[in-house]
Amino acid sequence: MRKKIVAGNWKCNTTVSEGVALAKQVSDLVVSKGAKDVVVVLGTPFTHLTSVAAIIDKSRVSVAAQNCAAEPKGAFTGEVSVSMIQSTGATFIIIGHSERRDYYHETSEILNKKVALTLAQGLTPIYCCGEALAIREAGTENAFVQNQLEETIFNLSAEDFGKIVIAYEPIWAIGTGRTASSQQAQDMLAFIRGLIAKKYNQSIADNCSILYGGSCSPANANELFGQPDIDGGLIGGASLKADDFLAIINAY
Ligand code: PEP
């Protein structure tokens, strides 16, 4: 059965001590009041991973990096490899966030390598996809997202594909306060699941957790998560406030 997942993406926010305090607050809230059937993930900056992994209750909360190197090791100044991330205690890696694709020119080829390295090391990729506003307005969002999946993750073996998490994040909804309607999100997630069924098989499609991301908040999470194909959320802004994040976790 596919898992319900609520993953926070802190982006480039918080110092180490602020991040550790936030993670402790979230972990304590999840332990005392959080829905037990939801996998909770904290996507912190690289600098925070080890300290955050050390203070959370790992039976209820997991840690994610927000990126990784596209090479396993070597002369790549400033890069952080998957094995380094694994050595911190993190178990997920967010890959292909639109901010990385847009601001750091991460191509499908680069993302393809990152996904493969993450899986090879036994970590779980949270693979992000989603279209810009102009594409949505032109009505070509399905073809665009299909192309992203084909170029980046549809080359995986069925066994590896069964280990990934997908996050659909329309760029026009990220950090804008403009959420996709629950119908728009449901339609795209159902489309993605249908593509997975065609490419692999129905059982892999049915077991794949597909998340929605984009201005998800305590006010809209319940309606979004009530859709049959939405298995949770990738949460940016609201993951920086422990109470809001808990409310989203408990919105199922
Ligand atoms: C994100 O960056 O992944 C995201 C969904 O951000 P926000 O929730 O702030 O729109």
pLDDT in tens, 169-192: 999 999 888 888 999 999 999 999
Q: Which atom of ligand 1 is nearest to the CA of 177?
A: 10
Sorting pLDDT into bands at 50, 70 and 90, what band is 109? very high
Complete domains list, the chain, with CATH:
4-249 (3.20.20.70)
Task: Please give the distance, rounded to the nearest whole angstrom, from the Cα atom of residue 73 to the centre of ligand 1.
Answer: 30
Sorting pLDDT into bands at 50, 70 and 90, what band is 68? very high
Residues ≥6 apart with Cβ < 8 Å to 193: 205, 206, 208, 210, 229
pLDDT, position 242? 98
Amino acid at 79: E
Percent of the chain scoring above 70 in pLDDT: 100
Ligand 1, CB within 6 Å, residue ranges: 9, 169, 174-175, 213-216, 234-238
Instruction: Determine the residue of 129, 169, 176, 178 to mutate for testing ligand 1's pocket, defined as the one with the most ligand atoms within 8 A of the Cβ atom.
Output: 169
For residue range 203-242, list pLDDT tens digits in order. 999 999 999 999 999 999 999 999 999 999 999 999 999 9
pTM of the model: 0.97
Task: Please give the distance, rounded to the nearest whole angstrom, from the Cα atom of residue 98 to the centre of ligand 1.
Answer: 10
* Residue minimizing CA distance to atom 3 of ligand 1: 236
Residues ≥6 apart with Cβ < 8 Å to 48: 10, 14, 16, 19, 20, 23
For residue range 77-100, list pLDDT tens digits in order. 999 999 999 999 999 999 999 999
What is the enclosing helix (H) or strand (E) of 28?
helix 16-33
105 among known catalytic residues: no
pLDDT, position 14? 98
Task: Please give the distance, rounded to the nearest whole angstrom, from the Cα atom of residue 145 to the centre of ligand 1.
Answer: 18
CB atoms near residue 28 (< 10 Å): 18
Task: Please give the distance, rounded to the nearest whole angstrom, from the Cα atom of residue 204 to the centre of ligand 1.
Answer: 27
pLDDT, position 170? 97
Q: State the average pLDDT over residues 15-38.
A: 97
Q: Could you tell me whether strands 61-65 and 210-213 are parallel, antiparallel, or unpaired per DSSP bridges?
A: unpaired
pLDDT, position 248? 98
Q: Which of 37, 4, 163 is nearest to 95 (CA)?
A: 163
For residue range 35-65, list pLDDT tens digits in order. 999 999 999 999 999 999 999 999 999 999 9
pLDDT, position 179? 85
Instruction: Determine the residue of 174, 211, 217, 230 to mutate for testing ligand 1's pocket, defined as the one with the most ligand atoms within 8 A of the Cβ atom.
Output: 174
* Residue minimizing CA distance to atom 8 of ligand 1: 236
pLDDT, position 252? 78
Render 195-240 in DSSP notation, one character per residue.
Answer: HHHHHS-HHHHHH--EEEESS--TTTHHHHHTSTT--EEEESGGGG
169 among known catalytic residues: yes
Sorting pLDDT into bands at 50, 70 and 90, what band is 21? very high
Token pair recorded at residue 76 = 């790549």
Tell me the CA end-to-end span of the chain in Å, nearest whole number.
16
Instruction: Determine the residue of 235, 240, 248 to mutate for testing ligand 1's pocket, defined as the one with the most ligand atoms within 8 A of the Cβ atom.
Output: 235
Q: State the average pLDDT over residues 146-164.
A: 98
Sorting pLDDT into bands at 50, 70 and 90, what band is 12? very high
pLDDT, position 177? 82
